[in-house]
């Protein structure tokens, strides 16, 4: 189950970065999320594809809708305002590769889980959520997409909870832990070479 959760974090991490199409109601949210989840899992199920080719297609599919600026800023938290524009640009460039590599590393954990996509629900003005159930090996996991409208009135997934654990909080904790004892350049190096992180 731990491996499945790890895989889900990798796949659904991208949804916290997704700039939604200009959706105005629950139906549009449902359509966008269901379509994207279906595409990802369809690619994952194509075992006849070369693994590298399949992974590349998944990454390309995700990169078309990822919102790296928001994800990077939220993941750095208070540290985002402390770094220069040049550092922000460098961080986002490396962060993009970090996310892509993280996804690819977890792809092989996919074992044809059953997916039950719920319906979007407006929780208050400009705020919505959508639950997805993942059934694997007789055990169920609950995934919640949290959405809100930006200044342009477009829906965006700003966070994803898996069994109550927030992706943004997870990344922020990891990065903050590094920055407490090290410089920003050290964080960048750890993102460049995640396998060397201690």
Give the pLDDT of residue 23: 42
Give the pLDDT of residue 90: 95
Q: Which residue did the predictor score with more confidence, 86 or 145?
A: 86
> In sequence order, what DSSP letters do the residues of the chain get, joined into one string?
-HHHHHHHHHHHHGGGG-B--S--SHHHHHHHHHHHHHHHHHHHT-TTS-HHHHHHHHHHHHHTT--HHHHHHHHHGGGGGGS-HHHHHHHHHHHHHHHHHHHHHHGGG----EEEE---EEEETTEEEEEEEEEETTEEEEEEEEEEE-TTS-EEEEEEEETTEEHHHHHHHHHHHHHHHS-HHHHHHHHHSGGG--
Q: Which residue did the predictor score with more confidence, 197 or 36?
A: 36
Residue 91 has pLDDT above 80, yes or no: yes
Model confidence pLDDT, tens digit, residues 9-24? 666 665 555 544 444 5
* pTM assigned to the model: 0.72
Give the pLDDT of residue 161: 82
Model confidence pLDDT, tens digit, residues 140-183? 778 888 777 766 676 777 777 888 888 888 889 999 999 999 99
Which pLDDT band holds residue 198 (cuts at 50, 70, 90)? very low
Angle of helix 184-192 relative to helix 85-106, nearest 10 degrees, comes to 30
Give the pLDDT of residue 89: 95
Task: Write out the residue range of the structural domain in which residue 59 sits.
Answer: 2-196
Q: Which helix (H) or strand (E) holds 61?
A: helix 51-63
36: CB partners within 8 A, 6+ apart: 15, 18, 65
Q: Which residue did the predictor score with more confidence, 93 or 37?
A: 93
Instruction: Give the whole-angstrom CA distance, residue 139 versus residue 188.
Output: 37
Beta bridge mates, 140: 135
Model confidence pLDDT, tens digit, residues 67-85? 677 788 989 999 999 999 9
Which pLDDT band holds residue 184 (cuts at 50, 70, 90)? very high
Give the pLDDT of residue 7: 62
Counting Cα atoms < 13 Å in the Cβ hemisphere of 127 gives 4
Helix, strand, coil abundance in the chain, percent, nearest 5: 60, 20, 20
Instruction: Give the whole-angstrom CA distance, residue 98 versus residue 190.
Output: 10
* CATH code, 190: 3.10.450.710
Instruction: Give the whole-angstrom CA distance, residue 170 versus residue 113.
Output: 24
Q: Region 16-41: what's the mean pLDDT? A: 66
Our count of domains for the chain comes to: 1
Model confidence pLDDT, tens digit, residues 110-131? 666 677 888 888 888 877 888 8
Give the pLDDT of residue 22: 43
Give the pLDDT of residue 175: 95
């Amino acid at each position: 189950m731990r491996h499945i959760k790890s895989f889900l974090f990798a796949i659904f991490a991208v949804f916290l970065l997704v700039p939604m199409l200009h959706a105005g109601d629950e139906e549009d949210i449902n359509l966008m999320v269901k379509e994207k989840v279906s595409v990802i899992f369809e690619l994952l199920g194509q075992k006849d594809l070369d693994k590298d080719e399949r992974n590349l297609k998944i990454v390309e599919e995700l990169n078309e809708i990822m919102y790296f600026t928001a994800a990077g800023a939220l993941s750095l938290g208070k540290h985002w305002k402390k770094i220069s524009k040049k550092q922000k640009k460098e961080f986002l460039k490396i962060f993009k590769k970090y996310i892509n590599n993280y996804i690819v590393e977890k792809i092989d954990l996919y074992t044809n889980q059953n997916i039950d996509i719920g319906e979007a629900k407006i929780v208050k003005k400009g705020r919505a959520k959508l639950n997805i159930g993942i059934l694997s090996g007789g055990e169920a996991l609950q995934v919640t997409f949290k959405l809100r409208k930006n200044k342009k009135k477009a829906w965006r997934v700003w966070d994803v909870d898996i069994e109550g654990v927030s992706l943004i909080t997870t990344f922020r904790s990891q990065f903050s832990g590094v920055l407490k004892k090290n410089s920003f350049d050290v964080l960048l190096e750890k993102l460049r070479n995640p396998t060397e992180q201690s």
